[in-house]
Amino acid sequence: METTHHTTAPFTDTKARREECALYEVQTYTLADGWINCWQDGDGKPVLFPTFADAEEGLADYRKDCEEAVARGDMQPSEDELRIRELKE
């Protein structure tokens, strides 16, 4: 009888496994297209985050920047609907 030896323990934490493979994006609700990722990097590519926590931090930074811009008079208050969405494979 042949024995199979595993060099690593099986992954039992499915949440950690999903987090390891997942990407996240911040989406904005638009009337024309529904929920979409409007955030782009300097090259025009969609901004993606490796973890949910990173996406939360990015969203918090964005909201802080908006609040500061409103306080300076650079923009009007916005009622944007934003959410963080996990991208499925």
Give DSSP secondary structure letters for 34-60.
EEE---B-TTSPBP-BSSHHHHHHHHH
- Is this model's pTM higher than 0.85 or not? no
User: d(Cα 77, Cα 75) in Å, to the nearest integer?
Assistant: 7
- Region for residue 44 given its phi and psi (left: phi exceeds 0; alpha: psi -120 to 50; beta: otherwise): left
Q: Is the pLDDT of residue 4 over 50?
A: no
Strand partners, 25: 85
Q: Is the pLDDT of residue 5 over 60?
A: no
In this predicted model, what pLDDT tens digit does every residue of 6-58 receive, in sequence order?
333 333 344 454 455 789 999 999 999 999 999 999 999 999 999 999 999 99
Amino acid 20: pLDDT: 59
